[in-house]
Structure 1
Amino acid sequence: MTWSTSELADLAGTTVNAIRHYHSLGLLEAPERKYNGYKQYRVHHLVRLIQVRRIAELGVPLSHVRADKDGVVVLGGLQQLDQCVQEEIERLHRARSDMAAILRDHAPAHTPRGFEALASRLSEADQALIHIFARLSAGESMSGLRQMVLSEPDAVRLEFDGLPSNADEATRERVAHRIVTLRGTWRSPDRPWSAQPGRWWSERDARRTISEALLELYNSAQQDVLSRARQFASEQKISLSA
């Protein structure tokens, strides 16, 4: 018994285009043709097609599959693929957990991981800075940062967020003193840093990156207030990041 291309596709649960693609990759040998030019696929074609389909269902890239008269071979074996699949499963679990937190707290999709419940307290600049913190610092330090953000007094946060770039001298001085008095800011390159193992940057690189981010993310008055707060804290030997 023989089958046409469309009949073979139906039997194997695939498409005519897929069969043509397998032919082009050398995974399925060309069949004989009838006198009228129509292809005649036989049982061994069906078996080979089902084998290739089975391997494809496992997620093996077809570029890693070879076929000859002895059968179908996966180059490099399945161990490496299994590791990749496991890593993808873990990534999807993390993604689903993150999405659940975002939906639960009605947070923007780009909210930094772990800060979903605090999203309403964070300006766009604050969220951007936290994203950079997360990339540069070791994972365990992020729990400390979350606590610092959570404990920042609302009065300090709202006044700092609403500070216009043309704020007068008295306002800048007052806000800076309030930050020091209430230890109300985590926006500082002087917080304790711990570079992630295996990364190319040093503690110095991390501090410089945060300093550049502060210059770009916050307006001139906010930058001035943060600078004054660090100066006041230094004079009084107070840590703003403790």
Structure 2
Amino acid sequence: MIDQKKILAIIPARGGSKRLPRKNILPIAGKPLIQWTIEASLDSKYIDSTFVSTDCSEIAETAKSCGAQVPYLRSDILSNDTATSMDVVLDAIDNYERSGQVFDFVLLLQPTSPLRTTGDIDGAIEMFQSKSADAVVSVTECEHSPLWSNTLPSDFSLSNFIPDSVLKQRSQDLPKYYRLNGAIYLFNVKHVKEGISYLSLPRSFAYAMDKSHSIDIDDNFDFSVAEAFLMNAK
């Protein structure tokens, strides 16, 4: 709770994963993947409830054993490839409100970001408070400037690949770019219900996270890199 406002953390964890089967509960650095996010949420000074939204009973049991709430299993409609994260968030808000639990803010935490820490979470919440924000979303600095990238034609020609105006600059003199890292999405519940995108809100802010905390696991390579970081942090 912050300023007497209640915060619901939602961890979406679908059972199906094409690239990494059973991804959300695969053991990584000695714990199921989802446990890293559950523990980071439970250790927060501000989060009132940590809820795992899943369609999988195995994930549900793992989440419960780690201390998260799993009062129901997500419907098949919300577990297919067309369902969005906001669909899952709205479903959670609706289910909690029907049980008499009302939250002011909702925090979406993807379980595929195991290096995101409690400090990152609390820092984002504190930014939300200090800026009287409508939304705070985590970002990280781009590994390489997007100005050094372009599409390629079918023959892979590099002609005009990088504009001369960019080539003449040293990389350290180029503007700093950031990307969404998928780790933290904090919203005001009323805006979620209204269907307003956080990018459309006038008081939406970026919370910058360290690159080492921003690995988002999508495939085996990401998994191996994240595990190396987690093992090194022990």
Q: TM-score range by the shorter chain?
A: under 0.3
The higher relative CO (CA closer than 8 Å, separation ≥ 6) is in 2
Structure ID, larger Rg: 1
> With structure 1 as the length reference, what TM-score do the two structures score?
0.22
Q: Is the strand fraction higher in 1 or 2?
A: 2
Give the TM-score of the pair, scaled to structure 2.
Answer: 0.22
